[in-house]
Structure formats: structure tokens, C-alpha cells
Amino acid sequence: MTPKIARFLMQTQPATPCLVLDLDRMAANYAALRHALPLARIYYAVKANPAAPVLDRLVSLGSSFDAAGIEEIDACLAAGARPEAISFGNTIKKSTAIARAHAAGVSLFAFDSDEELEKLAVHAPGARVYCRIRVENDGADWPLSRKFGTTIEHAGALMRRAGTLGLDPFGLSFHVGSQQTTTAAYDVAIGKVAMLFTDLTEAGVKLRMMNLGGGFPTRYREPVPEIEDFATAIMGAMTRHFGNNLPEMVIEPGRSVVGDAGVVSAEVVLASRRGDDAVRWVYLDIGRFGGLAETEGESIRYRITTDHDGSPTGPVAIAGPTCDGADIMYERANYHLPLALTAGDRVTLLAAGAYVTSYASQGFNGFAPLAEHYV
Ligand SMILES: *Cc1c(COP(=O)(O)O)cnc(C)c1O
């Protein structure tokens, strides 16, 4: 937790649950990415946290934006982003959204199928398009693999076809999966995609851009490689495959920009032991539906701190406050919390700045969407 967040929590004692995000820490994360990969243009993945204060600050830092829908595009424009700095990066778009984005001046679109390419040709004539390749998501705690991307062979055919439809075949993209904890994932993916890039260029399709997606991890319970380690792997692979003829490089970080800039402050509603349960159950006032969607499968394991830290602990299961049986965050991930923890105590989920507010439900069981404070 940053000093600014600690001060805010102490002085304000905001109602829980809430997200508190330090915009200066976010700016420092952005600067660290820039410094590690100075040749890559940063398109912040808006879905990680689409709040106006986040977008405003990133616009002032010169960021570009990866948007998944027309509402995210509108949010970027409202924050002052230029349409040329926005990529419509979802491969699944309504025709009406494509047309509106095109009319607003957005000129860069992702796709991974003939059908989507045809929609783009009709509703965004002349636009720059890039094809998403499916790559392995091994090493990612939150994989994205099966839903997006196509094969190398199909992508080659699609990129050749793009030109004949009046579109500009601009580049290729991939995503190694979110919370990617191995640097080799980028190395392997770049090798695979660079080969197609070179083949197409030699065949006269003038690609200019390699989009390496997001995936850079945030530190939760376990340590992860530093951004410099990812940068070394990426630049090593890029130089190996392109020599000094590097194409324009794009990265689309979401989690690594906002993740460790925010915490969730929550309250214990009940800490109890029932019947023959081997563990105590700790129920918080935030759960799977209040924004902790990434605890599904216990994939993202937040570090949790309490005011009793340092006192004796015991094993716990941790669940949310709703009446839904799926609203359990952790049963198998071996969490231990202080035995003194009791109803009314505050707890803090560290590094919870990404994929939390945007994943909160609208009043399920009457619980309001997660409150947000930007400091
Ligand atoms: C979600 C997403 C990102 C951001 O991924 P992170 O793991 O948060 O960095 C980037 N690009 C695309 C296309 C995405 O869908």
C-alpha cells in the first residue's frame, strides 16, 4: 500500500467496500513501462479500470488506448484522447459500434475472422486493421486463449484479403494471457508471429506493426518477474527476428498499469466456525459479485492485511456477503488470517487496482457497485 493510500484510509475512514487508487503510483507504473520498452507505444487496456481520473491522467502522460467497445471509446474521447490514439481492440464488435467508432475518427481495428473483416470493410472503409493470432497462454494465471485469435495460416489469408477489401493491412497481434508470469511466453509468441510478418512482407503485404498485447503481471502473493525482465525477453526476440528493421511495436498493458496502484478496503461481516468445518469462514462485505470476479477458480490470489497482523493465525475460507453459493473467493488457496479477526474489523486487499470496479455487479442482492476513490 502506498503512503498516500494509507493516509487516505486513516484520515477518511471511507465506507466499505471501496477501491482506493493512487494515481501517482499508476503514473510511476506507466513511466516504468515506457522506460523498459522505449520503442513500444503503450495502449492502456481500458477495461482494467475505465474510471475518468485514470483515463485523464493517462491522457496527460501521452498514453494511447485499447478499447473493447464504443462506450470505452467514448470514455477515452471524453478524457481528451485523440481518436488516432485509440485502437478498437476487440475482435467481436457490433456493426453499429464499428460505424460509430469510424465516424468518431478511430482508424485502427482488430479482427480474427473473415466475417469480422467483412464488417470492417463495410463500416470502417479504409481503416488500418490488424489480425490477432492465437498463441499459447501457458504461464498465465488468467488465460484468454481459446476465445480469441486465429491460426497463422488463416491470418495470412485474412491479411492478404484485407487489402482486396479496401482496408489497410497494418499489422499482427497476440495476447499471451493475463497475469503472465513467464517472460518466455513473449519470446515464443513473437517467434511465431514474426515469421508470418516476414512472409507477408516478402509477398508484398506491407505490414508495419507488431502488437504484443498485455499480460504483464502484478505482484500478488507470489513474486513475479520485473518489467525489465519482460523487456529483455521481448527486445531479444524482436531483434532476433527483425534485426534492425523493427516494425512499430505496440503493447496493451492493463493490469500492470493499475494493479498495484490500488487497494480494496473491506470489512469482516462474520468470522465463524460451523459444525465440523476444518477452517473458520471469514465473510467479507465484498465478494465475487462485488468486484472480485478474478477470484474465480482462485486464479488471482490477493494479499490480505488486517489490523491484527503479527498475532496468531489459523486457516480460513474467505467468502463474500451474498446469498449465492458461488460467492466464495478462497477455499483451497491456503489462506491464513489472525484468529482475533472478528466482525466489524477492516481488512485490506493489496494490489487490487485492476479488474475490480469494472467487474462489480449492479445491485445483486441489493449490494451497490464498488465505491471508488482516486487520490
Ligand atoms: C484485456 C486485454 C489487455 C490487457 O491485458 P492485461 O493482462 O491486463 O495487461 C490487452 N489487450 C487486449 C486485447 C485485451 O483483451
Give pLDDT tens digits for 88-103: 999 999 999 999 999 9
**Shortest-distance atom of ligand 1 to CA 177:** 7
Q: Which atom of ligand 1 is nearest to the CA of 254?
A: 8
Domain with CATH 2.40.37.10 in the chain: 260-374
Average pLDDT over residues 223-245: 97
Asked whether residue 23 carries a pLDDT value surpassing 80, the answer given is: yes
pLDDT band at 358 (very low <50, low <70, confident <90, very high): very high
Which ligand 1 atom is at minimum distance from the Cα of 216?
A: 9
Q: What residues have CB less than 8 Å from 29, skipping those under 6 apart?
A: 256, 257, 258, 259, 260, 261
> How many angstroms does the Cα of residue 323 sit away from the middle of ligand 1?
31
Ligand 1 center to residue 213 CA distance, Å?
A: 6
Whether the CB-CB separation of 1 and 348 falls below 8 Å is answered with yes
- Testing ligand 1's pocket by substitution, the residue of 252, 258, 300, 355 carrying the most ligand atoms inside 8 A of its CB is 252
Query: Half-sphere exposure of 34 toward its Cβ, with a 13 Å CA cutoff?
Result: 13
Rounded distance between C-alpha atoms, residue 251 and residue 66, angstroms: 9
Residue 144 has pLDDT above 90, yes or no: no
Specify the domain boundaries for CATH 3.20.20.10 within the chain: 24-256
Evaluate if residue 146 carries a pLDDT over 90: no
Task: Considering the domain delimited by 24-256, tell me its CATH architecture.
Answer: Alpha-Beta Barrel (3.20)
- 144 CA → ligand 1 middle, Å: 9
Percent of the chain with pLDDT over 70: 100
The number of the ligand 1 atom at minimal distance from the alpha carbon of 179 is: 7
Q: What is the pLDDT of residues 279-335, one digit of tens each?
A: 999 999 999 999 999 999 999 999 999 999 999 999 999 999 999 999 999 999 999
The string of pLDDT tens digits covering residues 318-328 is 999 999 999 99
Place of cell 480474427: 112
- Please give the number of the atom of ligand 1 that sits closest to the Cα of 178: 7
Q: What is the pLDDT of residue 154?
A: 98
What lies within 8 Å, CB to CB, of 158 at 6+ separation is: 111, 112, 113, 114, 117, 131, 150
CA angle 321, 323, 326 (to 5 degrees): 85
DSSP reduced 3-state for 354: coil
- The rounded distance, in Å, linking the Cα atoms of 332 and 294 is 15
In percent, how much of the chain has pLDDT > 90? Answer: 97
* DSSP element (H, E) containing 329: strand 328-338
Ligand 1 atom at shortest distance from the alpha carbon of 217 = 7
pTM of the entire predicted model: 0.97
| HSE-up (13 A, CA, CB side) for residue 84 | 1
* Ligand 1 shell residues, CB under 6 Å: 45, 47-48, 66, 89, 175, 178, 213-216, 252-256
- Checking if the pLDDT of 145 tops 80, the result is no
On average, the pLDDT of the chain sits at 97
Cα of 258 vs centre of ligand 1, distance in Å, is: 12
Pocket test of ligand 1: the residue of 66, 230, 251, 258 to mutate, having most ligand atoms within 8 Å of its CB, is 66
> Which residue's alpha carbon is nearest to atom 12 within ligand 1?
213
Could you tell which of 176, 178, 180 is best to mutate to test the pocket of ligand 1, judged by most ligand atoms within 8 Å of the CB?
A: 178
Tell me the fold of 260-374: Lyase, Ornithine Decarboxylase; Chain A, domain 1 (2.40.37)
